[in-house]
Copies of this chain bind each other. A is one copy, B any other.
C-alpha cells in the first residue's frame, strides 16, 4: 500500500509538473516515466484511463494544492488584497524558480487539451471554480460588494499576468497586477 501510493503519487507529481510546463500534447508518457525513473509497466495499472486520466488527476491535484494555498494565505491575512498580493508573489517566485517554465498549473492544459477532452476540460473548470470561490468567499467576508465578479476579475488578471510573465520571461506583469489589485478591488465602491 505504501509503495503503491508512493509510485502512483510519484507518477502523478511528475506528470503534473510536465503538463504544467509543456501542456498536454507536448508531454509524452515516456518522458513522464523516464523523469523520475518510474516503473513502466505499471502506469496502466495505476491509471487505466491512460494519459487522459493522468491529466485529469494532475489538474485536480494541482488545483487542490493551489486552492489550499489560497485558503491558507487568505485565512491568515485579514486584508484579502494583501493576501492576493502574497499569492501573486508566491506564483512569481515559483515561475522564476522554474526558469519561467511553470506558470499557472492549469492554464496550459486547459488551453491545449480542453478542446479535445471533455473530462480534462471539466477538471480545469473545477480548478478555476475552486480558486474563484475561495477568493469570492474571503472578499465577501471583507465586505466587498459583488465578491463573485471581483473574484473572477482578480483571477483573470492573475492568470493573464502569469501567461504574459511566463512568455516574456519577466515578472513585471505579475508585479503590475499585484500593484493594481487594491485599486481593482476597491473600484466597485467608487463607481457604485
Give chain A's interface residues, CB within 8 Å of chain B. Answer: 21-26, 101, 103, 107-108, 110-116, 121, 124-125, 128, 149-150, 152-153, 155-161, 163-164, 166-168, 172-173, 176-177, 179-180, 182-184, 186-188, 190-191
Name A178's closest neighbour in chain B (CB-CB).
B153
In the bound assembly, the distance between CA atoms of A117 and B110 in angstroms comes to 20
A160 touches B150 (CB 8 A): no
A-B pairs, 6 with minimum CB distance:
A183-B187, A160-B160, A156-B160, A159-B160, A23-B112, A25-B25
By a CB distance below 8 angstroms, the chain B residues around A190 are 183, 186-187, 190
* Interface majority SS (helix, strand, loop, mixed), chain A: helix
A134 shortest CB reach to chain B, Å:
15
Q: Within 8 Å CB of A191, what residues of B?
A: 182-183, 186
Q: How many copies of the chain does the oligomer comprise?
A: 4
Q: Which of B21, B107, B153 interacts with A177 by CB under 8 Å?
A: B153
How many angstroms between the C-alpha atoms of A23 and B19 in the bound complex?
14
Q: Taking A115-B22, A116-B26 as contacts, is the C-beta distance between A163 and B107 under 8 angstroms?
A: yes
Residues of B within 8 A of A23 (CB): 23, 25, 111-112
CA of A115 to CA of B23, assembled, Å: 10
Q: A167 → chain B, closest Cβ, in Å?
A: 5
Is B22 a contact partner of A150 (Cβ separation < 8 A)? no
Contact residues in B for A110 (Cβ distance below 8 Å): 163, 166-167
